[in-house]
Amino acid sequence: MQSLAAAQELRECNLFTGQFGLSLSEEQIERLVSRRFGALRDTRRVEFGEGILKKLIYAFCDSPYLFQESYEDTILELQDSFYYFKGEAEERLSDDELIGFMKQVFDGPAQGSLEYLSGTSLEQLCRDAREADLGGPARYGPLC
């Protein structure tokens, strides 16, 4: 059921991303949805509801470094990085904060390089998040 809902969402994304010359075929949608569950398994995370793909696509679709030829692969890798670094940051970053940072770096100093994004900036971001005094072990934890 989650797969069907996720696939439908990606189809709906095509209506918006079309203006940027980006769209996903049915096969690509299937692969992205399937990879989502794989990425969650690999990073030992549980996700309810719509998942992060839609947010990633809407955030990155206007990037000058995102092209139709590499659209699927880029989104796949962004998804993998997203789940991985959510854990690395020890849940200190909200989805929007992490995606916002990823986009900012991807369009900025990374100039579209996913290696730069995940190997440099995201690592540093997560280190900073872990070391920052945020008043507790995670942004959401048991209330005292």
Partner 1 sequence: MEGNREQAPAGAFPADNALTREEVEIVRQKLWLLLAKRTEAYTAMDSSSVPVETARELFASLCFTLGLFLKESGSPAGRLVTDDLDELYRQGVRQIEEKLTYARKLHEAACLGAPAIENISFLDTLRNLGTFFRRYDCRFFAHHIPCSIDYQLCRAVPDEPGGVEYVTEYLRRLIIENDFLRRFDRERVERLLMSSCNDYRGLLINLYEPAAANAIGLTLAGGDLFSLDVSDRDRAHLAALFASLPESRAKEALRDAAARLCYTLQIRDSAARDYLAAAAVSLYPRIAAALPYGGLDGIFLSARPSH
Q: Using the minimum distance from each CB to partner 1, give the nearer residue, 55 or 103.
A: 55
Distance CA 30, CA 27 (A): 5
Distance CA 46, CA 48 (A): 7
Q: How far is the CB of 49 from partner 1 (least distance, A)?
A: 6
Per CB under 8 A, which of residues 20..59 are in contact with partner 1? 40, 44-52, 55
Buried b (16+ CB within 10 A) or exposed e, 68-107: eeebbebbbbbbbbbbbbbebbeebbeeeebbebbbebbb
Q: Using the minimum distance from each CB to partner 1, give the nearer residue, 27 or 49.
A: 49
- Half-sphere exposure (Cβ direction) of 104: Cα atoms closer than 13 Å: 9
Q: Using the minimum distance from each CB to partner 1, give the nearer residue, 47 or 107.
A: 47
Token digits for 74?
A: 């880029």
What does DSSP assign to residue 112? Answer: T
4 binds partner 1 (CB under 8 A): no
Q: Using the minimum distance from each CB to partner 1, give the nearer residue, 29 or 52.
A: 52
Binding mask 74-103 for partner 1 (x = CB under 8 A): ---------x--xx---x--xxx-------
Binding site for partner 1 (CB under 8 A): 40, 44-52, 55, 83, 86-87, 91, 94-96, 139-140, 142-144
